């Protein structure tokens, strides 16, 4: 005798399943399933994918109930293991990771050089000959990690990609020059990144240095010095003479102390790529900072869609190291390709890394298939209606400081109860890559007045789907922005009849509710259109169309003469013979 176990209930783990896997799940032969599918009008083979709803119809026909419990994505599994906290794990204090920003020639490089020369970890003063993009110093027995790439774009890119690379930002302002366009740009980047700011008022050795004026200017840009009740600590320094450098280090450690930066050195490492390049002899070389855990030679690693095994690691002092703990910068060899700066790095089991990368590639493909996701003036109105936007974020660039001020003052007056202009950043000069990245991070439209955008920058904007609008006449800017802001208020809809269907059969699905097998008698039905269900002349209810299918293909619309499955958004007690009238929402033109 053979013992047959009958399956009464099965769990599917994805929205689609092959007939073969489905057959194993419900314990029915493939041939019988294929036969049932055929009766439903679905021509399937053993390797065909069927969707959950179709699977449910078939299962119910066998007297089996099924339910959907979607598996975690590999990305989720990766994050879970990277962010998990074991019970009783030992968290230790980790050094702060610091980025230096500011206007050109205000002394960023000099400051980084001065720190590097004074005291280098491992007592190798002056021993660093070649930069790996970051280095560590020691002060009062504590370490500080500096990112050695003062470019703003790199900084924001790290933020934009969700990698919390920097703990503290130092804003360098030359005391003899004051707050300049790139200082303002830096302030806006730091604010967007929500990182604590320490102001280093540099060049204090110069006779014309005027720190009080700098503080005044900073306050005008919403960076309020501590002594005036704000939270920006200002430290007067001279990168040239070394004055104030110890105070600056002390301040960094103090701010770090308040942030309570902790990590678990016993975990598998996570980190962030600072810079990476292809070396003729060594292959892909990446500088990274370990953020949590410890990275070891031999670890399997991945970043973005690149992967590999750590073949060798070089510390900031140029010497090979076997392992690197939290906040340590290292150069690593062993990636199969050059990873992107700002991307997160994970030490991870090879199998999981392969699965995550495959999933990421699939997602990138899907994403490419979709169109623009950035903010443009045209889709601003739609975004407001969806309730996702209340500010129109604008980055304003113009040829002169005068035009910037004039435009800014005008644009800020454009508002109504539901939306207003928010100037994320403004400055004189052509649009830069930094502006694009800031626009992407903050969902801004860039307005460029009376100047040309360099073609390289324009192509970056294109890639990141950021809109740059160029203007030559102020009132045109004002008109466009006013239209975008006001458009939404004046939008009114009317419902316009578009078609009608007759319900011929009702399918009941345990999880997905009811599907009306219908015939479109007039006009058309569209996904998301309004549906009024009637029995004779009596109105049973009003809802919208959640999905439309011809056999198993999801359709955006179905026209007269076709049979389709209609799923309504609300549960209305439909039955055979009922009719549905369809209406579309149309904007009433004033």
105 part of the interface to ligand GDP, by CB under 6 A: yes
Are 558 and 524 in contact by the 8 Å Cβ rule? The answer is yes
DSSP alpha helix (H) spans, 510-583:
none
Of 57, 78, 101, 107, the one binding ligand GDP (CB under 6 A) is: 107
Nearer to ligand GDP, 77 or 206 (CB): 206
If one counts every other C-beta atom within 10 angstroms of the C-beta of residue 122, the result is: 12
Tell me how far apart the alpha carbons of residues 440 and 462 are, in angstroms, rounded to a whole number: 11
Residue 115 beta carbon to ligand GDP: minimum distance, rounded to whole angstroms: 12
Nearer to ligand GDP, 29 or 207 (CB): 207
At 117 the three-state DSSP class reads: helix
Residues in the chain: 590
Tell me how far apart the alpha carbons of residues 76 and 379 are, in angstroms, rounded to a whole number: 31
Q: What does the per-residue mask of binding to ligand GDP show for 230-269, with x meaning CB under 6 A?
A: --------xxx-----------------------------
25 part of the interface to ligand GDP, by CB under 6 A: no
The site that binds ligand GDP (CB under 6 A) totals a number of residues, namely: 16
Q: Contact region for ligand GDP (CB under 6 A) — 203-211, 479-487, 515-523, 582-590?
A: 203-211
Tell me how far apart the alpha carbons of residues 154 and 132 are, in angstroms, rounded to a whole number: 14
Nearer to ligand GDP, 240 or 408 (CB): 240
Q: List the structure tokens of 159.
A: 């933020």
Q: List the structure tokens of 436.
A: 């694009």
20 part of the interface to ligand GDP, by CB under 6 A: no
At 491 the three-state DSSP class reads: coil
Residue 238 beta carbon to ligand GDP: minimum distance, rounded to whole angstroms: 4
Tell me how far apart the alpha carbons of residues 520 and 496 are, in angstroms, rounded to a whole number: 17
Q: List the structure tokens of 70.
A: 């979607």
Are 75 and 534 in contact by the 8 Å Cβ rule? The answer is no
Of 143, 164, 191, 206, the one binding ligand GDP (CB under 6 A) is: 206
Q: Max alpha carbon distance in the chain (Å)?
A: 103
Q: What does the per-residue mask of binding to ligand GDP show for 370-389, with x meaning CB under 6 A?
A: --------------------
19 part of the interface to ligand GDP, by CB under 6 A: no
Nearer to ligand GDP, 107 or 196 (CB): 107
Q: What does the per-residue mask of binding to ligand GDP show for 81-100, with x meaning CB under 6 A?
A: --------------------
Tell me how far apart the alpha carbons of residues 291 and 325 are, in angstroms, rounded to a whole number: 8
Residue 163 beta carbon to ligand GDP: minimum distance, rounded to whole angstroms: 24
Nearer to ligand GDP, 240 or 534 (CB): 240
Residue 317 beta carbon to ligand GDP: minimum distance, rounded to whole angstroms: 22
- Using the structure block, give the residue that is written with the tokens 């070089």: 314
- CB environment 278-309: b (16+ within 10 A), e (fewer): eeeeeebbbbbbbbbbbbebebbbbbbbbbbb
Distances (CA, A) of 115 to 120, 155, 444, 465: 8, 20, 36, 39
Q: What does the per-residue mask of binding to ligand GDP show for 152-191, with x meaning CB under 6 A?
A: ----------------------------------------
Phi and psi torsions of 312, nearest 5°: -155, 155
Of 39, 70, 104, 278, the one binding ligand GDP (CB under 6 A) is: 104
| Positions in the binding site for ligand GDP (CB under 6 A) | 102, 104-110, 150, 202-203, 205-206, 238-240
């Amino acid at each position: 005798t053979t013992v047959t176990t009958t399956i009464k209930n099965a769990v599917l783990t994805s929205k689609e399943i092959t007939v073969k896997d489905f057959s194993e799940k419900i314990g029915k032969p493939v041939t019988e399933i294929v036969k049932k599918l055929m009766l439903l009008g679905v021509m399937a083979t053993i390797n065909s994918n069927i969707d959950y709803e179709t699977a449910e119809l078939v299962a119910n026909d066998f007297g089996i109930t099924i339910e959907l419990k979607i598996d975690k994505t590999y990305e989720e599994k990766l994050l879970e293991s990277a962010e998990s906290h074991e019970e009783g794990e030992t968290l230790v204090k980790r050094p702060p990771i610091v980025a230096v920003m500011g206007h050109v020639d205000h002394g960023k490089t000099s400051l980084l050089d001065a720190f590097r020369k004074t005291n280098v970890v491992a007592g190798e003063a002056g021993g660093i000959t070649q930069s790996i993009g970051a280095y560590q110093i020691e002060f009062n027995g504590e370490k500080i990690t500096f990112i050695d790439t003062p470019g703003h774009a790199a900084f924001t890119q790290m933020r934009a990609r969700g990698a919390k690379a920097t703990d503290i930002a130092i804003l360098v302002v030359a005391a003899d020059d004051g707050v300049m366009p790139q200082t303002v740009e830096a302030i806006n980047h730091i604010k967007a990144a929500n990182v604590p700011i320490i102001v280093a008022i540099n060049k204090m050795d110069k006779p014309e240095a005027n720190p009080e004026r700098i503080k005044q200017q900073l306050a005008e840009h919403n960076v309020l010095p501590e002594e005036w009740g704000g939270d920006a600590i200002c430290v007067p320094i001279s990168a040239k003479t070394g004055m104030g450098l110890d105070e600056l280090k002390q301040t960094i450690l103090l701010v770090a102390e308040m942030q309570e930066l902790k990590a678990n050195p016993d975990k598998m490492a996570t980190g962030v790529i600072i810079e990476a390049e292809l070396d003729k002899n060594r292959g892909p070389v990446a500088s990274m900072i370990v953020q949590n855990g410890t990275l070891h030679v031999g670890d399997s690693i991945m970043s973005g869609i690149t992967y590999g095994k750590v073949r060798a690691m070089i510390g900031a002092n140029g010497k090979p190291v076997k392992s690197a703990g939290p906040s340590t910068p290292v150069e690593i060899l062993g990636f199969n390709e050059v990873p992107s700066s700002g991307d997160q790095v994970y030490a991870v089991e090879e199998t999981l890394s392969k699965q995550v990368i495959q999933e990421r590639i699939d997602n990138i493909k899907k994403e490419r298939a979709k169109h623009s996701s950035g903010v443009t003036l045209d889709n601003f109105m739609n975004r407001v209606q969806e309730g996702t936007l209340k500010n129109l974020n604008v980055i304003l660039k113009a040829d002169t400081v005068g035009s910037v001020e004039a435009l800014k003052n005008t644009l800020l007056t454009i508002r109504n109860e539901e939306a207003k202009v928010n100037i994320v950043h403004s400055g004189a000069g052509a649009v830069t890559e930094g502006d694009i990245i800031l626009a992407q991070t903050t969902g801004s439209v860039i307005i460029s007045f009376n100047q040309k955008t360099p073609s390289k920058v324009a192509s970056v904007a294109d890639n990141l789907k950021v809109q740059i609008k160029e203007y030559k006449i102020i009132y045109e800017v004002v008109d466009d922005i006013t239209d975008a802001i006001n458009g939404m208020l004046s939008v009114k809809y009317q419902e316009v009849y578009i078609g009608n269907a007759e319900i011929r059969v009702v399918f009941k699905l345990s999880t997905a509710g009811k599907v009306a097998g219908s015939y479109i008698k007039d006009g058309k039905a569209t996904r998301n259109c309004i549906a009024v269900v009637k029995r004779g002349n009596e109105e049973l209810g009003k809802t919208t169309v959640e999905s439309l299918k011809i056999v198993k293909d999801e359709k955006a619309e179905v026209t007269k003469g076709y049979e389709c499955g209609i799923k309504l958004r609300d549960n209305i007690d439909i039955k055979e013979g009922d009719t549905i009238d369809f209406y579309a929402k149309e904007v009433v033109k004033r």
